[in-house]
Amino acid sequence: MNKVYEAIEKKGWEKGIARGIEKGMEKGILKTAENMLKEDVDINVIKKVTGLSEKAIMNLKK
């Protein structure tokens, strides 16, 4: 039973790490888009570089 618990715990930990990495990447993309907006980069270029929608980029302007 102990090995089963350890396997479940490890899988949960790995999922937590993966979620953390994903959230960090999302924050980095948003920060990049914000910096590009500050530099007056065209919205279409920001969309292409970051993969964000125009709506998401416009929300960063607020």
- Give 45's Cβ-side CA count (13 Å radius): 9
Residue 34 has a pLDDT of: 97
Give pTM, 2 decimals. Answer: 0.76
- Per-residue model confidence as pLDDT tens for the chain (62 residues): 577 667 667 777 777 778 888 999 999 999 999 999 999 999 999 999 999 999 999 999 87
C-beta separation of 46 from 33 below 8 A? yes
pLDDT at 56: 96
